[in-house]
Amino acid sequence: MLSLRRADPRRRSSVTVALLLGAFVSGCGGPSVELMPPLRNGDVAPAQRPPAPPVPAPVAQPAQQQVAALPPAAVRRPPRVPASPRLTGFPAPGGHALPTGTPVDRIMVFKSERRLYLMQGFRPIKGYDVALGFAPIGHKERQGDGRTPEGLYTIDAKNPASQFHLSLRVSYPGGTDVARARRFRESPGGDIMIHGLPNTDERNVARHHPFWDWTWGCIAVTNEEIREIWDVVQVGTTIEILP
């Protein structure tokens, strides 16, 4: 999930607040939710209210402030991830496009190398560079910790109305994750997705992806890449997330 910039209080509207609530309630891939606040004494129903005055055009921000679109704790990492012996035999990211319907029976994610691979048995057929949660080291333990889970899960849902272009939901938390969180009286969190770039600020975030770990624990790829992954990965596919 992407952390949103704090809005100017003078221009904040009920719709803006509703969208922010929808983003945090629905998770990385949830559709935005429009909420109508209850009317108070003296309030006028929306249909009876006079039209709002025109909003002045926003002032362009200096380039150095554009990073504000990322979570406040987003972590920049080196432009190139060092070569890893455990990826010997795995193809470099990119390459030819996969035809729709290409069979994929497993997804492997190597967190340290920031790589996602689609697999046919033990054979990798394509790799992708990814961005992770803003605290990428270690297994996710509680809601809001910014970590990406580690372990064996499945893809248990696909969301075509995602706030991040398209998304595939990972079956975190499992029973062990819930039990661990309960021991510490914490929520384990959830709504961990493989998703694209945010619909609300795609161009700005694309400038930093994948060299910033900018999600709240999800696994992010580009919009073009998530469309390809969406086409070939089915619900029920196993995903293994390694440290």
Q: H-helix or E-strand containing 227?
A: helix 223-232
List phi, psi (to 5°) of 25: -75, -40
Question: Is the bond preceding residue 50 a cis peptide, omega within 30 degrees?
Answer: no
Q: Are 153 and 170 in contact (CB under 8 A)?
A: yes
* pLDDT band, very low/low/confident/very high, at 75 (cuts 50, 70, 90): confident
Question: Mean pLDDT, to the nearest integer, of 232-241?
Answer: 98
Of 78-87, 93-102, 130-139, where does mean pLDDT reach its minimum?
78-87
Distance (Å, whole) CA 30 – CA 187:
19
Q: Is the pLDDT of residue 37 over 70?
A: no
Residue 124 confidence class, pLDDT cut points 50, 70, 90: very high
Whether residue 231 has pLDDT greater than 50: yes
Supply the DSSP string of 3-71, one letter for each residue.
PPPPPPGGG--HHHHHHHHHHHHH-TTPPP----PPP-TT---GGGSPPPPPPPPPPPPPGGGGGGGS-
Query: What is the enclosing helix (H) or strand (E) of 203?
Result: helix 202-206
Question: Which pLDDT tens digit goes with each residue over 204-216?
Answer: 889 889 999 999 9
Span 10-17, average pLDDT: 39
Taking a C-beta distance cutoff of 8 angstroms, is the pair 135, 151 a contact? no
Residue 182: enclosing H or E segment and its boundaries?
Answer: helix 175-183
Q: Is the pLDDT of residue 9 over 90?
A: no
> Across all residues in the chain, what is the average pLDDT?
77
User: CA 195 → CA 9, 28, 59, 78, 109, distances in Å?
Assistant: 30, 8, 30, 22, 14
Which tens digits make up the pLDDT trace of 192-205? 999 999 998 888 88
Query: How many angstroms separate the CA atoms of 201 and 69, rounded?
Result: 7
Burial string for 97-135 (b: 16+ CB within 10 Å, else e) reads eeeeeeebebbbbbbebbbbbbbeeeebbbbbbbbbbbb
Per-residue confidence band for 88, with pLDDT thresholds at 50, 70 and 90:
confident
- pTM value is 0.71
Domains of the chain and any CATH numbers? 101-242 (2.40.440.10)
**What is the rounded distance in angstroms from the CA atom of residue 89 to the CA atom of residue 66?**
38
